[in-house]
Structure 1
């Protein structure tokens, strides 16, 4: 008998908000997943032996815009992943940020149903990663509030800071208690992104706040830097050990050129980060190219 790991709660969001990407000889198919249909995954091309990536966008985003498309295409470049995206765009539209914050609980509750649906159809929790950008990172964490088991791995891409830092309690924000491994990549810490150490292992990239390739007015530089977290992580999906981090003190962003390096071995950021590593790591990407965003 299949084990139902979803807590017995009622939701109204879902159905047509999940996409699965199937590779075939004729190209990539973008399919809707209906978790109310037991055969939905079976007919989609889902392969239980593969790893699973669940990708969640942030405020004023959608699964069909950057940086989510950058993440999706990086996973599509491999053959060992089932790729799912969660589109909560109607509940996260600009300029209604407060409404988006309120809607996070509903989205996380329904995405937990998707997670349980994948597990009930042969998915392996130990091979499943929730990857969230900005508010999506916090939603990844909130999913665990609606499961009877802890998630295995979460990657938080510059988890959102505005109002979360002031009003978000443990229930509404990503913490290291939400999965056995919580990795966080900081690229706009202290502005649009969270500060200091959030997960088991955090990477403070290029000082953690403004990325070298981001130009223009203050808000554009902040948004560009915020999106860079997805680009850097996507690079690690495509190329092993693409970015290495050195142990450093837990403050992020770094306020000076002295990043506070500590003794210890460098570790790869992103896809190849070893399980069980803890602490803050500083990454110098040596890159001046910015991440395209819409």
Structure 2
């Protein structure tokens, strides 16, 4: 490499390093491991809780307390805007509930083998916290709902498989995916064996590798979402936009309550669009999803908030991704 190219390359790397430190002032070190926080009134009242007997003893839990565990995605933390918005929405929708935030930012790495190993560590620690809540406090597993986005969705499946007290009440996987490549073994996926009820929402190609849950929702076919193709950016950016639409839909569903995001049971998006699917069974995505109505469900959304639309199938179903 010539001296000029070396100087340019060094300058670019230095600027990139400064940018990383500015954007991520607490760069992952791996030393902190997994952190847990709990909220009872809003995201602003978060308090740290340890996955120990002494830690769970501090949680305000009763046999009727609804507990929602939220697991963020790859390269994120529990301070992401969608996590905060979802926390506040859950606490309003379910008065008296407790939201537990799983924060694994300090274990994020660009190494796929290490990240997969860290995902198992995150799941082990989170499963330990849940088992301690059930064993040491009067909490029912049926009242525990784990919500995971992206890599957090995959981790939620690992959590369900590692809880020893019994099956979790519900897991909601929001476009569950691993970074880079899909898992190599079945145990790495989120699937219907991981909780009493597993609900998935698919919004991008990143979330297409998971096997079915009990109830699978596909927004706009589960691929590119309306409103994401206006970015004038490469297809990868459109996929990222579509990927994050999953959390936006979840927040809206919790905020607006029952009756939003009506979906038609249909084996394939094509049948939903061309009207060959009779659409005689309807379910709604969100906290009010009918747990007894299983299968694959399709719905369309608006290109911007509010995303929920009245149920239409057949000739009026397809919403152009513009």
Q: Is TM-score (shorter-chain normalized) higher than 0.5? A: yes
Contact 2:40 2:96 in 1 (8 A): no
Structure 1: 5+ residue stretches without partners? 1-11
Matched, 1:137 2:147: no
TM-score by length of 1: 0.82
Runs of 4+ deviating beyond 4 Å: 12-16, 161-164, 254-257
- Aligned-pair RMSD on alpha carbons? 2.8
**Higher RCO structure, 1 or 2 (CA under 8 Å, sep 6+):** 1
Residue number in structure 2 paired with 1:219: 236
Whole-angstrom distance in 1 between the partners of 2:75 and 2:153: 14
Name the residue aligned to 1:64. Answer: 79
Structure having the larger proportion of residues in helix: 2
Q: Which has the larger radius of gyration?
A: 2
Pair 1:230 & 2:247 matched: yes
CA distance 1:287–1:260, shift in 2 (3 Å): farther
Kindly tell me the number of residue pairs found equivalent between the two proteins: 271
Aligned to 1:113: 128
- The CA deviation at 1:46 is 4.0
Q: Does 1:20 align with 2:34?
A: no
Tell me how far 1:200 sits from its aligned partner.
Answer: 1.0
Match of 2:168 in 1: 151
1:162–1:92 distance in 2 versus 1, CA, 3 Å: closer
1:88 aligns with 2:104: yes
> Quick check: which one's strand share is greater?
1
Closer, same or farther: CA 29–260 of 1 in aligned 2, 3 Å: farther
Alignment TM-score, normalising by the size of structure 2: 0.75
Provide structure 2 residue ranges, at least 5 long, that are not aligned to the other structure.
1-29, 308-322
Deviation of 1:72 (Å): 1.5
Tell me by how many angstroms 1:256 deviates.
Answer: 9.9
CA distance in 2, matches of 1:13, 1:180: 34
Cα distance change, pair 97–61 in 1 and its aligned pair in 2 (3 A): farther
